[in-house]
Amino acid sequence: MPKYEITLEKATCDGIFACLTRDPRFVEDDDGLATIDPDADPVYDATGEESVRLEDGRIVATFDDDRLAETRQAAKACPVNAIDVQEVGE
């Protein structure tokens, strides 16, 4: 399975939440904008290998699972292009 990194630009996010309907790991944060929570999806068991961190105002998350297509759909649905998804290895 591919390892991939999601970058969510908090300053760009408008809180439209189109991403939430495509990938349930995207959730509303206390500030009214999107964030990433690997435990938010009750159907999916997080493996503990996930990494979610804040870097310079961006949420950066790394996953190694079979949900890359869902994450890409969430990024594509974002009308302000606040989400970037990159494969970073196998």
pLDDT of residue 29: 95
Question: Would you identify the CATH topology of the domain 3-89?
Answer: Alpha-Beta Plaits (3.30.70)
pLDDT of residue 20: 95
Domain locations along the chain: 3-89
Q: What residues have CB less than 8 Å from 38, skipping those under 6 apart? A: 25, 46, 50, 52, 61, 63
SS (H, E, C) the chain: CCEEEEEEECCCCCCCCCHHHCCCCEEECCCCCEEECCCCCCCCCCCCCCEEEEECCEEEEEEECCCHHHHHHHHHHCCCCCEEEEEEEC
Tens digits of per-residue pLDDT, 56-72? 999 999 998 889 999 99
Tokens at 26, concatenated: 């995207």
pLDDT of residue 38: 87
* pLDDT class of 41 with cuts at 50, 70, 90: confident
